[in-house]
Structure 1
Amino acid sequence: MKAIVHSSTGGPEVLRLVERPVPEPGPGEVRVEVRVSGVNPTDWKSRSGALAPGVTEQVPNQDGAGVIDAVGPGVDPGRIGERVWVWEAAWRRAGGTAQEYTVLPARQAVALPPGASFDLGASLGIPALTAHRTLTVAEGGPARLAPGALAGRTVLVAGGAGAVGNAAVQLAVWAGATVVTTVSGPRKAELAHAAGAHHVVDYRAQDAVAVIRSVAPGGADIVVEVAPAQNAVLDHAVAAPDAVIAFYADSGGPAVGFPVREAMTANLRWQGVLVYTVPAAAKDHAVAAVRAAVADGALRVGEQAGLPLHRFPLAATGAAHTAVEQGAVGKVLIDVAGPADGGLPG
């Protein structure tokens, strides 16, 4: 089978296209014939940073979608032929999704509903599971999203045109929240509207605090934050009492400064989110909720959903990584095996 590998860290030039034996699933595992691999910032950062412990040759990329074609001992043989999306395929493991077949624990291959495309499946994983966590860490909030779970709450999503931001907007709308998002220009505003945000604020062209306060006078109960260092003052200015600011990235700087007395008075909470290390129960809730949202048609991809797709062949995985590193707006996908979706909608 064809696979992309790297045995050292560095830039995209360390990635090589090779032939490898098709792996066999072990106990509790499934083998997935990968159709589409999704690329996230963590993929190029991992390639640049360090190999997993004990790994000498790494296949990159955490997310993907395809078809289960073999199962190991202890796994229901009825799962063979099941269309699935996979998550954390390369977390502390050598076998990511940038290859024609990958083996992973059965719980990390989640059934796709009949109408859901492989493109959608490959776009879930890290973005959707991260978004779910940010939306479920509020005081007194739900542990698992569902329709109505965030009714009466206002959610502010910083960067609603990004992959996590897009998922957060769609999940929050599905859960019944009023969703406000900030963007950096008209094009991204169009995408955030397409994702379903109720209010979109261009922080470069508008007084973001004034506009957010005008549409959400009581403030935001949950802030989904991609650039805490850059947005801390704004977040505090628009946060409701007892709000949580859930941050999942360090865009804009590595350290945060905010007015302490103001935060104390409002009982604000900062909550870090790293999808790989969230508690197991929270991960299970996230997977179940994302699966339900997909079944309800509440999670979508493509231009019409505010997440344009950028496609690369497997041999151009390095270019796909570069596109993400350079800030491609939308979702970067790699076509691993032939036509990805057979005409299914995103």
Structure 2
Amino acid sequence: MLAAFYTRTGPAAEVLSVGEMAPPVADPGEVLVRVHASGINPADVKRRGGWRSMGMDHPLIIPHTDGAGQIIAVGEGVDRDRIGERVWLWNAQGGYGEAGRAFGTAAEFIAIASHQAVKLADSLSYAEGANLGVPAMTAHRAVFADGPVAGQTIFVNGAAGAVGHFAVQMAVAGGARVIGTVSNQEAAAHVMDAGAFATIDRKMEDVAMRVLELTEGQGVDRIVEVDFGANLELDAVVLKRNGTVAAYSSSSNPTPVLPYYAFASKGANLCFIQGFLIPEDQRLAGEKVIAEMADTGRLSVGIGATFPLRDIAKAHERVERGGLGNVVVLIKGEP
């Protein structure tokens, strides 16, 4: 099979290669998937780049946690009726702090545990399905970790990002009113199309003042936070009493100093979301919500760029530069 891989961490153009490898075989409890599309998450890029001194957990790594494709064979103990099923994949490599799997989705084939291959809605393409494992599931956990959100006001910091865009849609579907931050007019249109009540340009407006204006001074029930270290003071200001901050990243400052009493005076709940460690009941609930929203036409997957497998280094560089929409590597057949 054709696969992308690296044997050391570093810049994408220097360490990523594409070549032939022996295809995997489905072991007991596994399915063999012909991969059509491989989604790239910031975590994949950080892992490949050696972010925060990350090393190599395996001698050779095929990157990417998320993907989508078709089951072509099953191992012992797996229902043969799954053969031919279109699926999306999650945790193909595992999370931070653990070695996980060596072989991710940036290859023509992957053998993976059957429960990590989830039926893909007919309404979604493989390219769209390749963005569900981390972004959509993280968004679901961030929005619903404490239960239903009907009637709440939810503030999504970074609403045009991969997780943020899903969080807006899921919160709206759950009956919440959503306010999101953006950085330009294109991003604002993207977020409003997802169902947001209002957007705030974080580069041009006083975000805290605008949130309080939009909520008549009451603040928000829940914050879905893209960068806790950068925004914790803002979050403390706009949060309602007994509200929740659900933070899924703190990339700009991995070791933030917490203004304890700013949060404690409001009885704030701080919830740290790890997309690689979603409890099983929440994972199953997320899979159900994704399927229901896709089946009813309420799930939009924003794809910003696609690349062929041979250009995987360019795809990683696109993620590093940033930009609107998810980045997908097309592996096989139709997107």
Partner SS state of residue 97, structure 1: coil
Aligned position for 2:67: 64
Which of 108, 119, 122 is residue 100 of structure 1 equivalent to?
108
Secondary structure of the 1:156 match is strand
Residues of 2 paired with 1:11 and 1:311: CA distance? 20
Q: Name segments (4+ residues, structure 1) moved above 4 Å.
A: none
The alpha-carbon deviation at position 292 of structure 1 amounts to 2.8
Tell whether the 8 Å contact from 1:155 to 1:179 is kept in structure 2 after alignment.
yes
| Aligned position for 2:97 | none
Give the alignment of 1:157-306 within 5 angstroms: 157-217=156-216, 218-257=218-257, 259-301=259-301
CA contact (8 A) 2:304 2:323 kept: no
The amino acid of 2:330's aligned partner reads: D
How does the TM-score come out when normalised to structure 1?
A: 0.89
Contact 2:128-2:303 within 8 A present in 1 as well: no
Q: Tell me which of 50, 53, 75 is aligned to 2:78.
A: 75
Does structure 1 residue 312 correspond to structure 2 residue 313?
no
Match of 1:118 in 2: 126
Mapped to 1, the partners of 2:211 and 2:6 lie a distance apart of 46
Q: Following the alignment from structure 1 to structure 2, what is the Cα–Cα distance between the partners of residues 337 and 230? A: 39
| Residue-pair matches, total | 325
Query: Contact 1:154/1:180 (CA < 8 Å) preserved in 2?
Result: yes
Equivalent residue letter for 2:5:
V
2:330 — aligned with what? 335
- 34-43 or 224-233: which moved more? 224-233
Q: CA deviation at 1:308?
A: 4.0
Q: Deviations over 1:162-216 (max 9, x none)?
A: 0011111111111111111011222221221122211111122222222211222
Tell me which moved more, 278-287 or 229-238: 278-287
**Is the CA contact (8 Å cut-off) linking 2:127 and 2:330 kept in structure 1?**
no
Query: SS of 1:240's equivalent?
Result: strand
Residues 230 and 250, structure 2, Cα contact 8 Å, conserved in 1: no
Aligned to 2:46: 45
* Cα displacement string for residues 213-238 of structure 1 (whole angstroms, at most 9, x for unaligned residues): 12223321110111212211211111
Paired residue for 2:30?
29
User: 8 Å contact 2:123–2:294 — kept in the other structure?
Assistant: no
Q: Aligned equivalents of 2:182 and 2:257: distance in 1?
A: 22
**Alpha-carbon distance, 1:52 to partner:** 5.9
- How high is the TM-score relative to the length of structure 2? 0.92
Range that drifts further, 267-276 or 96-105: 267-276
The offset of 1:258, in angstroms, is: 5.0
> Residues 10-47 of structure 1, C-alpha deviation per residue, up to 9 Å, x if partnerless?
22121111111221101110011111111111111111
- Distance verdict in 2 for CA 1:104–1:308, change over 3 Å: closer
Letter in 2 for 1:84: V
Alpha-carbon distance, 1:107 to partner: 0.7
What percentage of residue pairs aligned between the two structures are identical? 37
- Counterpart position of 1:6: 6
The equivalent of 1:132 in structure 2 is: 140
Q: Please, which runs of 5 or more residues in structure 2 have no aligned partner?
A: 95-99
1:114, 1:205 → 2: CA distance? 41
Aligned to 1:324: 319
2:150 aligned with 1:151: yes
Task: Report the AA paired with residue 202 of structure 1.
Answer: D
Using the alignment, how far apart are the partners of 1:261 and 1:14 within structure 2? Answer: 46
